[in-house]
Amino acid sequence: MVFGWAQIVMDIQPLIVIITGEGHLHGFSHTYVGATLLAIVSALTGKYLSEIGLIIFGLSQKDNLIKIAWWVVFFSAFIGTFSHVLLDSIMHSDVMPFYPLTQQNNFWRLLSVEQIHKLCMYSGFIGAGIYYYMQFKMRNK
């Protein structure tokens, strides 16, 4: 959930640019410096939003509240924002991942859009496989 929240937080700036028609589409938010700051914001807000979400979905009860460990929250947020910058820098020519060190984007077109979609789909399958395997292992302890 924190990973997903980080994706939303990352794309707030491009959304504002699309709505207002002003600014750099993939601006500071889509640099590794910006992604570091947004990972911290995503972690600090995402922990509590996710814990509330677990209550709403009935996965966390009053007598047994699930608390998400801070290291998990930060790890998820940083994977979310850094992979977002990497994938968007491959996909979009205007992303400057290493700004302010350089305005170059050497990742652009490293993979085709179709290859990026396949990469995301297969890594999703692998992640789901690991998730269900771990659930199976924990239930059969």
Q: What residue ranges bind Zn ion (CB under 5 A)?
A: 11, 88
C-beta of 35 vs 68, nearer to Zn ion: 35
C-beta of 11 vs 51, nearer to Zn ion: 11
Question: Cα separation of 101 and 39, whole Å?
Answer: 20
C-beta of 7 vs 102, nearer to Zn ion: 7
Q: How far is the CB of 30 from Zn ion (least distance, A)?
A: 6
Strand (E) or helix (H) holding 111: none
CB neighbour list of residue 49: distance below 8 Å, 6 or more residues apart: 1, 5
Q: How far is the CB of 34 from Zn ion (least distance, A)?
A: 11
C-beta of 14 vs 68, nearer to Zn ion: 14
DSSP character for 31? S
Q: How far is the CB of 91 from Zn ion (least distance, A)?
A: 9
Q: How far is the CB of 75 from Zn ion (least distance, A)?
A: 20
Cα atoms found within 13 Å of the Cα of residue 80, Cβ hemisphere only: 25
Question: Cα separation of 74 and 122, whole Å?
Answer: 24
For tokens 């009935």, what's the residue? Answer: 58
